[in-house]
A and B are shown apart, each in its own frame.
Chain A
Amino acid sequence: MSKTMFRAGALALALAGCALTAAAITTPAAAAAPAAAGPTVNIDNFVFGPAAVTVTVGTTVTWVNRDDIPHTVVADDKSFKSKVLDTDEKFSFTFTKPGEFGYFCSLHPHMTGKVIVKAA
């Protein structure tokens, strides 16, 4: 059946993820993942979920495209850039410097997200 029509639940989850992440920023310990076992950001219905993740230096973040349409993951400052991700394809990037890294889909630039990297 249609992903577009039946992913409303996924969107709600993604939005809930945003709220959780916002809380996590103030309590980084809750979101800090051990190195090499970082969080996954799902792309569902043209949305990065969660829209922001907080990790420590050395963490690898993985993005998975679960849409029927290709997407990309491109840093605003071009510090990382995936090739085009077709359905179910993944992209991983290990963050080695602290800072805030905004990113977007270069095909659908209204899709944006953020990775907040804290010193280890």
Chain B
Amino acid sequence: MSDHDHDPDETSTGDRRGFLKCMAWAGTGALWTMSGGIASSISLGQAMAAPAKPKGFTFLQISDSHVGFNKPANPDAAATYREAVAKIAALPQKPDFIIHTGDITQLSKAQEFDDAEQIIKGAGLQVFHVPGEHDMLDEGAGKAYLDRFGKGTQGAGWYSFDHKGVHFVALINVVNLKAGGMGSLGPDQLAWLEKDLAGRPASQPIVVFAHIPLWTVYADWGWGTDDAQRALGYLKRFGSVTVLNGHIHQITQKVEGNIRFHTARSTAFPQPVGGQAPSPGPLKVPTEQLHSMLGITTASFVRGSEPIALVDATLAS
């Protein structure tokens, strides 16, 4: 693994030490967070691709942009979202597309959706959205989101698509929430999911994305999805499943069998670690630290290699 030849240009943009850390991660399956992550993640993708010469690809995850948020934890969430998008637009290797794992807006206002749509257009890439609970606050309880981002989707906005052999599934777990509960997928969506996955070969890599984590990160704060176990039951026969979520504004990860769970940073504001504050909510940090707690996630997929490599980069890098 150590003598991959990779483009010297890549080495100059991503430092060698970071590259080696990445390789260590690829071997152990541990998640690596690094400040100079983007260039290095591309090095990783290319390095892993080298032996078999398959056609890999990368895609980006962004989350929790909360456009319209203007409280002390971040007086201008639209500005940091713009910075994240500029970072994506400047990537030397274009990702194939972006997924946004919800809480696009703060209050589902038309102006916020307009601003968010304009900002993300700056990346010049196709974007796949799912809503967060903040995107369901219009009079129509989600109609504003569906009209704008949910064309051609089913139910509350779920859908799936294939890309270069990988099956992507977008799930909605922020509607019809029950008193005392957490996120919810609901029977209709679960029935759809079962059907959507039926007949697919177990060797097909699956990427599932939704706003609230599909595993219980911290129940007391509602950081989980009540009926996720049924969904995971349909997924466990697959050899490679990656679950990407947002909502909690920090990186967490877990591996359960062949299923890898990962939550992304927000581009708006951080939240405390579950249980380490009186409640969830915007965490005010010194202004100079804010950018180091916001970020984006690059996913590199190499056919025949596993797992999908997830590399988180902060806006400070």
Contact = CB atoms under 8 A, between A and B. Distances in A.
A47 B222 CA distance: 12
A46 B283 CA distance: 14
Interface string B92-132: 00000000000000111000000000000000000000000
Contacts of B281: 3-4, 45-46, 67-69
A103 B278 CA distance: 21
8 contacts: A1-B72, A3-B281, A4-B271, A7-B279, A67-B279, A102-B179, A110-B182, A110-B219
B178 interface: yes
Contacts of A69: 280-282
Contact of B221 (A46, A106, A107): A46
Contacts of B72: 1-2, 68
Contacts, number: 87
Given A7-B278, A106-B177, 11 more contacts: A2-B282, A4-B278, A5-B272, A8-B278, A46-B279, A47-B279, A68-B72, A86-B107, A87-B71, A109-B177, A110-B220
B221 A103 contact: no
A112 interface: yes
B90 to A, nearest CB: 31
Nearest to B137: A84
Interface in B257-291: 271-272, 277-284
B47 interface: no
A106 B136 CA distance: 10
5 nearest A-B residue pairs (beta carbon): A45-B279, A2-B284, A104-B179, A110-B222, A46-B279
A1 B159 CA distance: 41
Nearest to A3: B281
Interface of A: 1-5, 7-8, 10-11, 45-47, 67-70, 76, 84, 86-87, 102-104, 106-110, 112
A1 B71 CA distance: 11
Interface residues of B, number: 30
A107 B281 CA distance: 13
B180 interface: yes
B182 A1 contact: no
Contacts of A108: 133, 222, 280
Interface in B41-70: none
Nearest to A10: B278
Contacts of A46: 221, 279-281
Nearest to B180: A112
A54 B279 CA distance: 26
A112 B180 CA distance: 6
B72 to A, nearest CB: 7
B181 interface: yes
A8 B272 CA distance: 14
Nearest to A67: B281
A70 B107 contact: yes
Nearest to A69: B281
Contacts of A106: 177
B133 A107 contact: yes
Contacts of A112: 179-180
